[in-house]
Chain A
Amino acid sequence: MIAAVCSLTLLGIALGWLLGLAARYLRVEGNPLQEEIQRLLPGVNCGQCGYPGCAGAAEALAGGKAAVTLCPPGGAPLVQALAARLGVTVDGATSGPLLLASVDEATCIGCAHCGKHCPTDAIIGAPKQIHGVIQDACIGCGLCVAVCPTECLQLRPVVATLKTWHWPKPALNLGV
């Protein structure tokens, strides 16, 4: 018993120590800009930008091969953050109100297709039960909308509740 525990523990420690040394001596210097951009991205690897995951998208962004508006889940806040970081300007075409998925209970048939595609597990509901979307977890990527056979899942503007409503941000009135 003690021999078993000790030998496996020692083996694990020795291997971990060797790997730690290897990580120090074989470290590959990545592109710091790419890593910074990857931290900005949502990190759900939904693949809607057409790149293999958020790491691929960050590489394309850092290389200037992709537009800052490539990420549907990130939405307008991400576009602004990326534009500020990369020093580019965006026209206001993409900055609409935040859209989140919601289920129309009248037409949901409980097929459970949508939940399998949700990158953040925001859709609840068992097969043959009416589904629902957890609004706090939804990122509005629209993957579920594409697979819903009855079109009961739609991206809709967020209805303000007591929890989410806030005063509108001050807008510059230039007397136009």
Chain B
Amino acid sequence: MRDYLFILLGTALVNNVVLVRFLGLCPFMGVSNKIDSALGMGLATTFVLTLAVAICWLLEHYVLIPFNIQFLRILAFILVIAGLVQFTEMFVHKASPALYQVLGIYLPLITTNCAVFGMALLNIQQPHTLVESLLFGFGSALGFTLVLVLFAGLRERLALASVPETFAGAPIGFITAGLLALAFMGFVGLPTH
């Protein structure tokens, strides 16, 4: 139980996927203009990331290793992720057309979100069980959603602030992202095992 908690904490905060590992920066900068859409994107990515990490673990341990075809890992993982994203897109379109409109092109782009693929690869490099893999994926997705929503909140405030002309728009966004990453360095002190 303690281990599971540490995996969640470690992936969500200490080794945050966006601000410490620097994966998945495209939606981080792209869909963080409004808190609502950031939350929607975070939930969609949470669904994809958790399932992708778990299915890729199953694939690695029950197909790739027994048949000794680990060289197909990247191809097989991408196939699984693409299928999952397609399913998520259909589901969001059915369940919430408004969210589907807001997320737009960023929804199919979860396929190429390197956070999803990167976490699947990082997960199988560690001696995780299936449950631990699920938590690993879920924890990093939680971290992703948390950072996305935090950053969207900051940007909503920034839109109202009077920023010097030189920094207005994207530059102040990047500076804020850097400061946020700096703040997340504070979590390094947390014990993770």
Q: Which residues of chain A have a CB within 8 Å of any CB of chain B?
A: 3-4, 7-8, 11-12, 15, 18-19, 22-23, 26-28
Interface residue ranges of B60-78 to A (CB < 8 Å): 63-64, 67-69, 72, 75-76
Residues in chain B near residue A19, CB distance under 8 A: 83, 86-87, 90
Residues in chain A near residue B59, CB distance under 8 A: 11
Complex interface: stretch among B14-22, B91-99, B112-120, B167-175: B91-99
Residue of A nearest to B67 (CB): A3
Bound CA–CA A148/B6 (angstroms)? 61
Known pairs A23-B90, A26-B90. 10 more at Cβ < 8 A? A4-B67, A7-B63, A7-B64, A8-B75, A8-B79, A15-B79, A15-B83, A18-B83, A22-B86, A27-B94
Q: Contact size class for B? A: 10 to 19
Known A-B contacts A15-B83, A19-B83; the reply to A7 vs B69 at CB < 8 A is yes
Decide: A28 and B93 in contact? CB cutoff 8 A: yes
Residue of A nearest to B86 (CB): A19
State which of B69, B91, B93 has its C-beta within 8 Å of the C-beta of A4. B69
Residues in chain B near residue A22, CB distance under 8 A: 86-87, 90-91
Q: B29 contacts the other chain (Cβ, under 8 Å)?
A: no
Q: B80 contacts the other chain (Cβ, under 8 Å)?
A: yes
> Taking chain B's interface residues, is the majority helix, strand, or loop, or is none over half, making it mixed?
helix
State which of A3, A12, A27 has its C-beta within 8 Å of the C-beta of B79. A12
Residues in chain A near residue B94, CB distance under 8 A: 26-28
Bound CA–CA A2/B113 (angstroms)? 31
Q: Which residues of chain B have a CB within 8 Å of any CB of chain A?
A: 59, 63-64, 67-69, 72, 75-76, 79-80, 83, 86-87, 90-91, 93-94, 97
How many A-B residue pairs have C-beta atoms within 8 angstroms? Tell me.
44
Residue of A nearest to B100 (CB): A28
Decide: B76 and A11 in contact? CB cutoff 8 A: yes
Residues in chain A near residue B75, CB distance under 8 A: 8
- 27 sample A-B contacts, Cβ–Cβ < 8 Å, listed by A number: A3-B67, A3-B69, A4-B67, A4-B69, A4-B72, A7-B63, A7-B69, A8-B72, A8-B76, A8-B79, A11-B63, A11-B79, A12-B79, A15-B79, A15-B83, A18-B83, A18-B87, A19-B83, A19-B86, A19-B87, A19-B90, A22-B86, A22-B87, A22-B90, A23-B90, A26-B94, A28-B93
Bound CA–CA A48/B179 (angstroms)? 40
Bound CA–CA A18/B55 (angstroms)? 14
Closest 9 CB pairs of A and B: A15-B83, A3-B67, A26-B94, A26-B90, A4-B69, A22-B87, A28-B93, A22-B90, A7-B63
Residue of A nearest to B83 (CB): A15
Known A-B contacts A8-B72, A11-B76; the reply to A26 vs B83 at CB < 8 A is no
